[in-house]
Amino acid sequence: MSAEHDPRSTRERIMDAALNVFSRKGYYDTRMDEIVEEAATSKGAIYFHFPNKEKLFLALVDQFADLLERRVKEAIADKAGMVRVRAAVITVLETFGKYRRPAKILLVQAVGLGNVFEKKRQEVGERFARLIQSYLDEAIAAGEIAPVDSEVVAHAWMGAIENVVIQWVYTGEPQPERILGALVPLLLHSVGYHEKEGA
């Protein structure tokens, strides 16, 4: 099957084009015709995959959340306890740092777009807070850190990560390396964990 007749590659091309246009123009100022032009496809092809702009935007959010979760799970696969917690936090930050345009869509443009988008943002935040919470619970069970309210801590960590990344998405500062260097130790210290030298 040639690429131009492969529905999967057409869908991916549409999503790549939508990411470009949304990140350049914002949700409200983007027209489906611009995505058609950017994707070098037909209106029919876009509407076959995405019945409207909202569904296309939400698909981009889901795509980025899936990528983020996949990266985290790969990073922590052979780790346990607080090493796993640390790897998960670093991977979330590194992924946001590498994918600035999808981060902008998820953390900036989806804000204030209404209930459907806000629900999706909360769903994504909750998904990652639950992952971090489960890793904290493992570390508590292993005796690596003292018992804490892991649900509250995980949400507080997600809030800190989101706030710093939003600042970076808007301004380009602080650079991802600075975020990693300052934020990761701060979060880990907040639960009484201090990294060993060379960790």
CATH class of 1-51: mainly alpha
- In whole angstroms, give the CA distance from residue 189 to residue 135: 16
Say which residue the tokens 């489960």 belong to.
134
Q: Superfamily assignment of 58-189 in CATH?
A: Tetracycline Repressor, domain 2 (1.10.357.10)
The torsion angle over the Cα atoms of residues 142, 65, 13 and 58, rounded to 10 degrees, is 160
| Confidence (pLDDT) at 139 | 93
Give the model's pLDDT for residue 81.
Answer: 87
On whether the CB atoms of residues 19 and 105 are closer than 8 A, the answer is yes
Indicate the domain borders of the chain: 1-51, 58-189
| Cβ contact 64:103 at 8 Å | yes
Q: Residue 102 pLDDT > 90, yes or no?
A: no
Of residues 22 and 198, more confidence is placed in: 22
- Cα distance between the two ends of the chain: 48
